[in-house]
Structure 1
């Protein structure tokens, strides 16, 4: 404690102030001088003890801050009673909690990044390996022209899939980084759904799926048409893949609280174990197709929730799936 210059200066100042009183008391009588010196020593000792206690508490806070700096975030919020040190301790505790939460979020994000890079590497390495093998085989002079043309068709299909995958990953990265600037505008839901159906037309035709639209012509929502059409298109593709030769029904509902868009199919349904993970990136359920990547529904979820909407799925094996999109009315 005496290493602190302000404490030394305080004691020196007190001694300088008391010295004239000691001289006056000594001139009066020896007893008066002893009394004044004793009183001064008692006050200085009391102040010294109190200051030592406060510095002890400050050292404890310093030790706790050092532990926080070392990554140890344990701290008891009830160590102090009322007073200025208690306020300081409370503020340090709040900062400690925030740092701990930030460290946990950073660790989670680092793990997510590691998993994402691993998934992306796998998704790109598989078609690249396949294409390299086909290119090697095509270099053989004895290969028939028909086989060569088939290999070229397969390589073109793989390149198209890789381009779609890279574009989807870039969109997902922008959505997760909140770098997408949505441009909400009043949009009729029928035009939005027709645009989504055109995006999923190839899958609808490929799997022989019939679409039924039950939506009022004047039903309007305020949202970003481009991004929302892509979200609905991904859901429609998923329904088409799992409702081959079946039907996909699109319904719109409006009430005083929410606007709803419901997309349901009468296909094979979703395994209950897959439902909690359906909107996770790169998650492939038990009924996933061999060429499924597991990114479409995750992107739909990101797009809809980024516009203050919700996306839920209800399904039973053998009885189809029901995707419910809700936008709550904003109360001004």
Structure 2
């Protein structure tokens, strides 16, 4: 019997037919041996009683099964709509109770999946909104520059100024796209961080190369205190990228003539890379928010940047089993620490 055509009444019908044939055969055999009509009468009465009992059982069991399947369908409908959690059965030993427990587990899994899907939808919506906001200003500036060049003749000086502005805006867009690509590859696992024991000194030197010119241009004094033999388990390339983001921010927000200090120290379980500056500082109320994607304080919008560097830095460090700390006070500067596991 195929499971698709399974029916309780049909099953009981086959059972009744089998019993009827068996009891009829037994009755006929006994009658042929005894030749007593009483045997036929007793056998017939017994067959009728059995048929009656099977009929009653079929009706009762079929009705209960029908009610159960109806309740099950309603429960599944509510589960799919997310309206109602299945009610636990009273008796844990019955088949219905076991089904109920599994339905409850399934419902919780479905609710968790719904919650995650909603969170991902909201994150995607926020990401699209943030990207749109970040791209809107450079694109508007580029359109204005193009309209100016098309609308009227310009002098050579004006042309150079306009082209410098175009270059600045395209650099901003390029930086944004590069940062988004790096972040996306990290989050989706396309880029895998390869941790290996390596000297922190080499990683710091690699990161420092990217900010030397900018620091000299602003006459910022940069000092490094790093033991050459200190090692930690880290991806040198990506850790240097994370450290560069901290150093780049320090150069941006430290006024001319300021000071930036990079200090590396080994602790019992972690190696600490601390970047201290004499910049504007960060209010305590904003220190948790600065690691959010695209977050920028209102006071620093005149500075170049898109607000993704610290987010990317934290992603790189946490994916290596490390963490970050920040200590800052407005007007006195900031200190960002990268904590990397030694092993």
TM interval, shorter chain, is 0.7 to 0.9
Query: Is 1:302 aligned to 2:304, yes or no?
Result: no
Query: Is 1:45 aligned to 2:47, yes or no?
Result: no
Residues 242, 316 of structure 2: 8 Å contact kept? yes
Residues 252, 262 of structure 1: 8 Å contact kept? yes
What's the counterpart of residue 253 of structure 1?
265
- Larger of the two Rg values belongs to structure: 2
Residues 271, 286 of structure 1: 8 Å contact kept? no
SS at the partner of 2:193?
A: coil
What's the counterpart of residue 195 of structure 1?
206
The TM-score normalised by the length of structure 1 is 0.85
Residues 283, 294 of structure 1: 8 Å contact kept? yes
Match of 2:284 among 252, 272, 277: 272
What is the number of residues matched between the two proteins? 327
C-alpha distance 204-59 of structure 1, shift in aligned 2 (>3 A): farther
Q: Deviation at 1:53?
A: 3.0
What's the counterpart of residue 251 of structure 2?
240
Query: Is 1:98 aligned to 2:124, yes or no?
Result: no
Distance, in Å, in 1 between the alignment partners of 2:218 and 2:301 is 13
Distance, in Å, in 2 between the alignment partners of 1:189 and 1:77 is 58
Residues 9, 62 of structure 2: 8 Å contact kept? no
**Aligned pairs for 1:1-332 within 5 A:** 5-19=6-20, 20-21=22-23, 24=27, 27-28=38-39, 34=45, 37-38=48-49, 41-42=52-53, 45-46=56-57, 48-50=59-61, 52-69=63-80, 71-72=81-82, 74-76=84-86, 78-82=88-92, 83-139=94-150, 142-244=153-255, 245-290=257-302, 291-328=304-341
Residues 12, 54 of structure 2: 8 Å contact kept? no
C-alpha distance 328-263 of structure 1, shift in aligned 2 (>3 A): same
Let me know the Cα RMSD of the aligned residues: 2.9
Deviations 1:181-226 (A, max 9, x none): 2233332111111211222334423443322222211111232222
Q: Deviation at 1:176?
A: 1.9
SS at the partner of 2:204?
A: helix
Distance, in Å, in 1 between the alignment partners of 2:90 and 2:342 is 47
Distance, in Å, in 2 between the alignment partners of 1:54 and 1:319 is 76
Deviations 1:82-117 (A, max 9, x none): 133322222222222222222222222222222222
Distance, in Å, in 1 between the alignment partners of 2:90 and 2:297 is 53
Distance, in Å, in 1 between the alignment partners of 2:249 and 2:200 is 20
Q: Deviation at 1:5?
A: 4.2
Structure 2 unmatched ranges of 5 or more = 31-36
